[in-house]
Structure 1
């Protein structure tokens, strides 16, 4: 079973300026705790006990302070992404920590609220080979990486397509086998100069080794990277806690 998990909490958070001019986006509050604790809990509830937190140079000390003594059962390591060169760069930064093992990767602004995600992630962590992406049904798929599939077999992944082939978005949670470092290292930067996570997933798809796990209709997934979604996330967490 995969026991390692990366939380990518870098970037500039430009959609949340001016707040993020003084503090990392992932340290902003979502109801009663900092945003980053939600993705951390998503990983740990599924059995991951070895975490790598990747952040930018300015905020590293703040994450260290927040997570000091957070959970004595966890091993927590910190690393720096000097510039946001793409999500998949996290797997290159993590080379030594990975030590030729597989891992989960979750974006630090992605909030999952459901028991279903726990079950889906646990099942993915048991797979020895391939990668797993997690799909969520959305009404506006052109804003996301869109998954086309048939009988739960992935046919294509397109990033923010004008004509989406489905209403299933790829969330910011992934599970990769031990080949992930070499795959990430082999990727070429996209036109916008980033090492793209979609390209990494496509490398598994070409090998017919990309698994799909669909979150059920009772699940909640929020990308809390805008003022609207940040407010929505806090309101939803409060509502669910009071049920």
Structure 2
């Protein structure tokens, strides 16, 4: 069995960060979202992985390499434009050959991985198996209607009147039958080959299409609030690990990781929180639910419920919260009334705030 990981797409909902960075590489607890998916694929016993890449392909390949760090063998498959999920299957035909495979959207986040899904598919005679989860507002998702035995009867994309509360998660397993389906469909109104159309073709042509429910936490990390929530969930599971330097004037409480080379001086770190390698925190308060990348400087700052990427400077800002800060960003204080600030800032930016 192989895996097809989709790591193209433009990440429009996370702009301006994704103008200069792949959305799949935004870190959760200082590890790119994509890496969690690759580890889940490995843990499910799959080692041959094709990664479909677009404009950010060089950045993805630089981060993942040949896959050996994950115990994988990675093949990169360029996609000329974001022409749909079924188009990804179409262009990956040579890589996939005639093997069954799991298709995994690289910006999805599943705490419990995909081993149960893959095992269930291997033991079945299904031609497709779709991961589903219950949601409160199914009208904003692709929705599946199931028969009494769990077979998928119908798929609808963002229906006004949903037939169920089961949303389609971005993980699928397919037999080679899907290749005929993606060749048989035509582009949708938005000019893309839709995987839901291909799955519908399978159903209409008598193929076995079944459901599998998510057993744990799932998020699509395409929005700021979702990736901050994923960060919170992962940070709640970390074990304390102090490898950097903490002076006697500082207080560390809860689940806190301080990476090698990091220094904490006259500060409070309230876990769960992660401080990256060679980051300096002085006269500051960090956390809870905060991850700080490597090579950052935080001085006279207060940060909570935030993700700060590498090589940032946060200085003189006392109430930075619910924020995602890109690489090489400077956030500093200017004279004026103090206040609370919420930011989503792209790479290589400078922001001056009243604080």
Q: Above 0.5 in TM-score? A: yes
Q: Which residue of 2 aligns with 1:35?
A: 33
More helix by share: 1
Counterpart Cα distance in 1 of 2:189 and 2:43: 37
Q: Does the CA-based 8 Å contact 2:27-2:33 persist in structure 1?
A: yes
1:224 to 215, 221, 224: 221
Give the Cα–Cα distance (whole angstroms) in 1 for the partners of residues 155 and 125 of structure 2: 22
The answer to whether the 8 A contact 2:7-2:105 is kept is: yes
Tell me if 1:95 matches 2:111: no
**C-alpha distance in 2 between matches for 1:45 and 1:122:** 11
CA distance in 1, matches of 2:196, 2:186: 12
Contact 1:133 1:174 in 2 (8 A): yes
Q: Which runs of 4+ in 1 moved over 2 A?
A: 68-73, 125-129, 240-243
Q: State whether structure 2 residue 127 is matched by structure 1 residue 118.
A: no
Alpha-carbon spacing, 1:97–1:69, altered in 2? closer, same or farther (3 Å): closer
Is 1:63 aligned to residue 60 of structure 2?
yes
Q: Is 2:201 the counterpart of 1:203? A: yes
Root mean square deviation of aligned Cα: 1.7
1:87-135 deviation line (CA, Å, top 9, x unaligned)? 11110110110112221101011111126x4222221134454110011
TM-score norm. by structure 1 comes to 0.92
Q: Please say if residues 125 and 208 of structure 2, whose CA atoms lie closer than 8 Å, have aligned partners that are also in contact.
A: no
Q: Deviations over 1:21-63 (max 9, x none)?
A: 001111111122011112212222111110001111x322222
**Residue of structure 1 equivalent to 2:212:** 213
Look at both structures and tell me which one has the larger radius of gyration over its CA atoms.
Answer: 2
Structure 2 counterpart of 1:130: 127
Give the equivalent residue in structure 2 for 1:153.
Answer: 151
The structure with the largest strand share of the pair is: 2
User: Unmatched 5+ residue regions in structure 1?
Assistant: none
CA distance in 1, matches of 2:96, 2:38: 17
Q: Higher relative contact order at CA 8 Å, sep ≥6: structure 1 or structure 2?
A: 1
3-state DSSP of counterpart to 2:37: helix
Residue of structure 1 equivalent to 2:43 = 45
Q: Return the offset for 1:70.
A: 4.2
- Alignment TM-score, normalising by the size of structure 2: 0.64
Gaps of 5+ in 2: 240-254, 256-355
Secondary structure at 2:68 match in 1: coil
CA distance in 2, matches of 1:233, 1:82: 30
Q: Which residue of 1 aligns with 2:307?
A: none
Please report how far the alpha carbon of residue 208 of structure 1 lies from its aligned counterpart in structure 2 after TM superposition. 4.2
Distance 1:189 1:12 in 2: 19
CA distance in 2, matches of 1:129, 1:147: 16
